[in-house]
Amino acid sequence: MKYYILFGPPGAGKGTQAGAISKKYNLKHISTGEMLRAEIAAGTELGRQAKELIDAGSLVPDSVVEGMIENTFNTYKDVAGFLLDGFPRTLGQASDLDQMLARRGEKVNAVISIMIKDETIKQRLQHRAEIEGRADDANEETIMNRIRTYHKQTEPLITYYKNAGKYHEIDGECGDIEAVRKAMLKVFRGIDKLLERQVVLDNALFDQVQKLAHDSPRLRMNYDLRNSEEDQSQRMINVMLPGTKTAIHRHNLSSETVMLLRGQMDTVFYNDKGVEMQRIHMGGDTGVLGVNIPKGQWHTFEVHELSIIFMAQDGPWSPLSKENML
Ligand code: AMP
């Protein structure tokens, strides 16, 4: 089974775009918002509890939505996978989802994010209230609360999934609904090709990752070589384009091995004050093909031309914490 997350603020167009993708890739579309609205309409106990929170623009408890998600995973067996819309919405839900999938021997395959500005959220929700009559779209105070809830609780997921090398972003204002759909299908095609090619690490695979890096606002893309998030090692291919910015960071639990497969780039070492201490140029005619970055060493990468590296570290992956970034 494949597990995709359709991410974005309220009004980004997730529900509008989900149909085309789920049909093309035979995915079961799960919208937690729609499921909750169905519970309210049916007058169930769960619906009664959720209504007040939804009408105020707040989130319902994690356990409620997680129960609905797991039920749906258990119910649909004849699909190629699931397209999650509106879930996860908090870091807690994201980590619970990782655990839920790990128990099934599965993982999140990719996150496709549709981004729009706050002002656009407001306009779209007001417009949607006129058409659909949703109480949580209707008044300005509720809308502002949903925008605040999004920034505070949901936006941190972007970093979570970026660090996992699973995040792909689309500009939700790049044109009309059809233009956004085309952009989404393009990203999906790229991801789908990648997922098909998990055994041979060849030029065709690198070219696919390279295309996704070009489409990414971060100008780089990871290709994860692990079996699951619980793996006791970290192994990945990283395609980086000139202009990509990597924070000065360190890994406190492991040294890191970086081998250059294509291109030219520098690994730069810093002291605790962020002063550059050593610059190792890799590629070109230097004869330097890799570096072993000691545990705890502050470092970053500067890319001179499109570069592809293989990176490896000990221990399971976890997101970089603030004290490990300068
Ligand atoms: P949506 O249709 O995705 O905009 O969801 C409508 C409302 O349902 C949200 O504002 C929340 O109150 C609730 N909701 C939907 N999904 C979740 C979730 N994953 N976690 C908590 N609350 C949710």
Domain of residue 13, residue span: 1-196
Q: What is the pLDDT, as a whole number, of residue 228?
A: 66
Would you say residue 206 lies in a domain? Answer: no
Instruction: Give the pTM.
Output: 0.73
> Which residues, at least 6 apart from 52, have a Cβ–Cβ distance to it below 8 Å?
none
Instruction: Tell whether 60 and 151 lie within a shared domain.
Output: yes
Predicted confidence (pLDDT) per residue in 67-95, tens digit: 999 999 999 999 999 999 999 999 999 99
pLDDT over 90, % of the chain: 76
Going from the Cα of 215 to the center of ligand 1, the distance in angstroms, rounded, reads: 29
Q: What is the arithmetic mean of pLDDT over 286-314?
A: 97
Instruction: Tell whether 142 and 234 lie within a shared domain.
Output: no
Candidate list 28, 37, 51, 146, residue with the active-site label: 146
In terms of Cβ atoms closer than 10 Å to its own Cβ (0-12, 13-18, 19+), residue 77 is: exposed
Say how far apart CA 294 and CA 269 lie, in whole Å. Answer: 10
Going from the Cα of 305 to the center of ligand 1, the distance in angstroms, rounded, reads: 43
| Residue 204's pLDDT band (cuts 50, 70, 90) | confident
Contacts of 34-38 with C-beta under 8 Å, sequence gap 24+, read 34/86, 35/68, 36/60, 36/64, 36/65, 36/68, 37/134
Q: Is 187 in the pocket of ligand 1 (CB under 6 A)?
A: no
Say how far apart CA 102 and CA 107 lie, in whole Å. Answer: 6
Angstrom CA distances, 64 to 31, 35, 47, 154, stand at 13, 11, 10, 17
Q: Are strands 167-171 and 110-115 parallel, antiparallel or unpaired?
A: parallel
CATH code assigned at 259: 2.60.120.10
Last residue of a domain, one of 146, 180, 196: 196
What total of structural domains would you count in the chain?
2
Q: Whose CA is nearest to atom 5 of ligand 1?
A: 33
Q: Is 104 a catalytic residue?
A: no
Q: How many other C-beta atoms can be found within 10 angstroms of the C-beta atom of residue 309?
A: 24
Candidate list 28, 37, 89, 211, residue with the active-site label: 89
Would you say residue 215 lies in a domain? Answer: no
Q: What is the arithmetic mean of pLDDT over 176-186?
A: 94
Contact yes or no for 201/37 (Cβ under 8 A): no
pLDDT over 70, % of the chain: 98
Q: What is the pLDDT, as a whole number, of residue 39?
A: 95
In terms of Cβ atoms closer than 10 Å to its own Cβ (0-12, 13-18, 19+), residue 325 is: exposed
Q: Which of 17, 83, 136 to mutate to test the pocket of ligand 1 (most atoms within 8 A of CB)?
A: 136
Contact yes or no for 220/244 (Cβ under 8 A): yes
Q: What is the arithmetic mean of pLDDT over 194-211?
A: 79
